[in-house]
Structure 1
């Protein structure tokens, strides 16, 4: 990409302005960034429905209802169940502490000098229970909070209602906006820029449109499977395994370990733990043979290390908004690095040493 001096200055200025806007207006940008992510995920489906003969508006309405139907269902069904299971875990911590002190700790201390306070779940459970009571007490003191922080409450509610509104309009005009941005590119930059954007979309799409859907599917599969065998905290463990699978095999390891521990305490004998093994083996088989080939395909997504670093760096720099834009930025940086690598391999700087050796 051969940029003129003025274009390089302009690119630097635009990048600086964007950085400052995200840094200083992060809380304001949150609903818009969330809406952009939802619109990006929903646009391919809207385009597909449009190609089948539906109008753009009707296609967007169908996708909009699907997206927010899933979100509302999760809020009304999954979250209360998760909250109940978290509360149960907090109450069971002292029981697990007593069992570890009686059966595990003496055996470990025979071979290793270890401080028994490391296994003090009682203090942890007290703190968690205290935080849980505070969280439950928020509704009781809601009227007082409204009178003292009405502006913050109004802002939160406004942001909450902004997300579906902005998402709808972004979905409806997504293709137009992309076309307008393309037309604004300098003519000498447009071919390379469009190629890089398409490559970014492929990388990011392989992750967001593929890996995130795999995560959701795995969370549902593990939750249903563990529920069918009667395991306590099935939904909590299943969703934990699904979320953690953003890093390959991490979800399987964490979910399997947690499920085995719960099955050990809950069931007599080894049948319960055997059923847990079956559930996770089925989940891994479905992920490897069905979900990943179908939803991700052979596209190259983001490396797990890049995902971890991007999320941590984005959260550190820009908070919640930074975590939302971290993965798109990681995809862009990854593609730009590939582009620089290709240019370097084709440059005289790379081939100069070989030419000197031949001489």
Structure 2
């Protein structure tokens, strides 16, 4: 067993470039794991900087320097965020408040519906099963309410921190975009000279990460807007709130769509009952999810997603467990990074074997 491990180590890490790549990877993971909460503003700034780098680069062709292009793009981005904050957030807040106020009535309607099931379908479900189910649902609702209250209190404590983030993040984004070349050179100066594999992995990931972040933003906007329009046309209550939830659900591959189905189906059922309109809402929602998965995602992420769904789900579970929201958001790029690392070490191994065989000949 020891000989096998030794042989594997010699094959993969006998080259200084491989060791440098491994040390760089371990250092990055350790920083994120132990100091994750402290680098959240930097992560947010990096995401926004990746998103805005493309328009800054394009605008730079028409303005004298990168600083001016960065300033114009930052002001445009902040203006869009402010317009969204003033135009969309109040509507979502109002609908969320109304939903919480009506939730006790909805719960009572749900209990009445469940209690009538044994009468309508006595061969499928018994009264005892319904009582057990109702008790379980009520306990879960109480737990959810307690969790929401605790999260709200925690959020109040973190309000000052978020206010600081609102100042620091735009500044970080500005300087990341304006001084991109200088910052890149500074990072390169800290990395050992044996960095051929690091450069190989970075060149493979850089374009993918930028496409992924930009594509994910477009996907949220398109899916959320389409859902809002569809729900509004069908006169579904809380259309804006449900549309926003459907849009944000794309952040969690596969799992998000399944989770958001619950509030969409619940609101439709309490509003329309088990009638034709309810099934129309479910069918339209299913069509939107199908078009997203089979048309929109391949168009937006043709280069960024080249992974089996099993690997994506495992990545969501693993990285989400490590880093929470950001682990889920970057699950696909991180899985692609793991794939790029494996490819880099495999390529290194094949190159060494090819060089040895060529030298032997």
Which deviates more, 112-121 or 36-45?
112-121
Distance in 2 (CA, whole Å) between partners of 1:333 and 1:93 is: 45
Question: SS at the partner of 2:236?
Answer: coil
Q: Report what 2:272 is aligned to.
A: 267
Query: What's the CA shift string for 1:304-348, capped at 9, x where partnerless?
Result: 444443344334335566556655433321211233445567776
Question: SS at the partner of 2:179?
Answer: helix
Kindly state the Cα deviation for residue 244 of structure 1 after the two structures are TM-superposed: 2.6
Distance in 2 (CA, whole Å) between partners of 1:62 and 1:287 is: 35
Query: What's the CA shift string for 1:218-265, capped at 9, x where partnerless?
Result: 022102321232102323332332233345565555555643443343
Which deviates more, 42-51 or 257-266?
257-266
Q: Report what 2:131 is aligned to.
A: 116
Counting only pairs closer than 5 Å after superposition, residues 1-359 of structure 1 correspond to structure 2 as: 11-53=21-63, 55-76=65-86, 77-78=88-89, 79-81=92-94, 83-84=96-97, 86-88=99-101, 90-107=103-120, 110-112=123-125, 114=129, 116-120=131-135, 121-129=137-145, 154-182=160-188, 189-190=195-196, 192-246=197-251, 254-255=259-260, 258-267=263-272, 269-271=275-277, 273-274=279-280, 277-278=283-284, 281=287, 284-285=290-291, 288-289=294-295, 291-292=296-297, 294-297=299-302, 299-301=304-306, 303-318=308-323, 328-342=333-347
- Structure 1 29/302 Cα, relative in aligned 2: closer, same or farther at 3 Å? farther
Distance in 2 (CA, whole Å) between partners of 1:185 and 1:88 is: 56
Distance in 2 (CA, whole Å) between partners of 1:73 and 1:316 is: 34
Q: Report what 2:5 is aligned to.
A: none
Higher RCO (C-alpha 8 Å, min separation 6): 2
Distance in 2 (CA, whole Å) between partners of 1:48 and 1:75 is: 27
Distance in 2 (CA, whole Å) between partners of 1:43 and 1:56 is: 11
Aligned residues: 338
Distance in 2 (CA, whole Å) between partners of 1:327 and 1:282 is: 22
Distance in 2 (CA, whole Å) between partners of 1:129 and 1:331 is: 38
Question: SS at the partner of 1:110?
Answer: coil
Contact 1:31 1:160 in 2 (8 A): no
- Structure 1 21/138 Cα, relative in aligned 2: closer, same or farther at 3 Å? closer
Contact 2:304 2:333 in 1 (8 A): no
Kindly state the Cα deviation for residue 39 of structure 1 after the two structures are TM-superposed: 0.8
Distance in 1 (CA, whole Å) between partners of 2:186 and 2:153 is: 50
TM-score (norm 1): 0.73
Let me know the Cα RMSD of the aligned residues: 4.1
- Structure 1 218/175 Cα, relative in aligned 2: closer, same or farther at 3 Å? farther
Kindly state the Cα deviation for residue 136 of structure 1 after the two structures are TM-superposed: 7.2
TM-score (norm 2): 0.73
